[in-house]
Structures are given as structure tokens and as C-alpha cells.
Amino acid sequence: MTAQTKTIRDTPRYFALLPAAGVGARMAADGPKQYLTVGGKPMLRHAVDAFRASDLVAHTYVVVSAADGQIDAVLPNDLDGVTVLRCGGATRMDTVLNALRALDGVVTGADLVMVHDAARPGLTPALIAKLIEGVGDYPAGGLLALPVVDTVKRKAGADVATVPRDGLWLAQTPQMFSYALLLRALGGAPDANAITDDASAVEMLGMSPRLIEGHPRNLKVTLPADIRIAEMYLAAGE
């Protein structure tokens, strides 16, 4: 094996993984929120297209439930660079973990996996590149996030207190970790309900993922009013 061949084979690849098995109960919609139309196409398709437009991403995997009857219309089988995995679980963590196990042998331990919320339609190739460059080869991985700028209040019954916002960040996605690290973190998590994002599972291992400043356009659509906000960002093209 030549030095050049070894270098090429040893270079980690970047994969996108979008868990899309949720029902989106807070949206009060007739179906899963990832299929709601935002700016003329389903939210999920916006997110997938951002990864497809990035030259840095080797392949994108979308994970749905086995009974999902809508995915084929949104992501046809012949869509280049995308594979649908029908192994969604009861929780987001279960869905990601099932997908990682399904990719054993396809993705190597050193490859980087970017887990992204299907309900974040404002992702761009520029943000993907910023995450990859910002995390670099940092062993604990990292994620896009936004520093808290508003005054934060904590309410307990009738009592209200101001919480210092110094050092507080709002987590976004993608969240990027090596395949081996993410599999170990999620596979060893003692309580799925305590895992609010992939970074929290890595933190339980005593590691501190790197925070890379994201963008407000990369908001998560959770409530009906969020759709209009997302459409404003998409229309502005910022």
C-alpha cells in the first residue's frame, strides 16, 4: 500500500443522519410535522437538500418508521445521495441508535456522523461547512448552537428568578461525532428519556462537545407559528 493510498483510505468521511420517525404532537397537525410544507416543499426535503448540496457530505440517511407511508413521495428511491432506513424507534434516541447499528460495516468507526433534526428546514451547505471546519478533529465532536441573548427567567410555582445567561447556549443541529463515539454514547445511555440530544449522551461519557455558532435561520419548527418564521428566512436566502 502506498502512502498516498493509505492517506485516502484513512481520511474520515462525513455522513448525514436525519431521524424522521416522530409524530410532531405539538404541531397539532394531521400527520408528522416533517412532511408539512414550508416554502413550497416538505420540511424534511429542505433539510435533505442542504446535505445533498454540500460537496463535503458522502451520503445522507433518513430514518423513518416501518409503517411510514409518506416518505416515498418526498424522497423517491432514485434520489441521488440519499437512502431511507425504515428502522425508526419509539424515541429519537432509539431511532438514531437503530440507524447506527444498521450502518455497521457501511460507516467506519472514524467516519463522522452529522445528526440533524428533520424539522430544521433552514440548514445550508455553508452551515454544514462551518460545523465541519469548526469541529475539525476534536475528539468529542461538536454541534451548531446559539449563545443566549435574552434575559432568562426560572419559574417555580409563584416564584420567579433571573438566571445568569453567561455561558448559556441553545443547541441546534447538526450535531457531529465519530461513528464509534456516537454508537458508544447512545448504546450505553442508562435512560433514553434523559437524552435530549445526541450531545447530552456524549456529555454523559465525561466529554465536552465543541459549540460552533450557528444561525437563527436554522430554527426547529415546533409550533404552528414557527412555519411562518422559517419561511421568512427561506425567502430571504440569508
Q: Is the pTM above the cut of 0.85?
A: yes
Name the more confident of 192 and 114.
114
pLDDT for the residue numbered 192: 78
Q: What percent of the chain has pLDDT over 90?
A: 86
CB under 8 Å to 184, separation ≥6 — which residues? 205
What is the C-alpha to C-alpha distance for residues 51 and 79, in angstroms, rounded to an integer?
Answer: 13
Number of other CB atoms surrounding residue 173 within 10 Å: 26
CB under 8 Å to 74, separation ≥6 — which residues? 35, 42, 44, 45
pLDDT for the residue numbered 41: 95
Per-residue pLDDT band at 32 (split at 50, 70, 90) = confident
- The domain total for the chain is 1
Give 198-238 pLDDT, tens digit per residue.
Answer: 999 999 999 999 999 999 999 999 999 999 999 999 999 86
Rg (CA), the chain: 18
Average pLDDT over residues 82-99: 95
Q: What is the CATH number for 139?
A: 3.90.550.10
Q: Which of 112, 106, 167, 166 is nearest to 140 (CA)?
A: 112
Give 225-235 pLDDT, tens digit per residue.
Answer: 999 999 999 99
pLDDT at 53 over 70: yes
Range of the domain at 212: 3-236
Give 120-164 pLDDT, tens digit per residue.
Answer: 999 999 999 999 999 999 999 999 999 999 999 999 999 999 999
pLDDT at 188 over 70: yes
75: left (phi over 0), alpha (psi -120 to 50) or beta: beta
pLDDT for the residue numbered 34: 94
For 171, the 3-state DSSP assignment is strand
Q: Which of 3, 234, 196, 232 is nearest to 117 (CA)?
A: 196
Average pLDDT, the chain: 92
pLDDT for the residue numbered 194: 82
Q: What percent of the chain has pLDDT over 70?
A: 92
pLDDT at 5 over 50: no
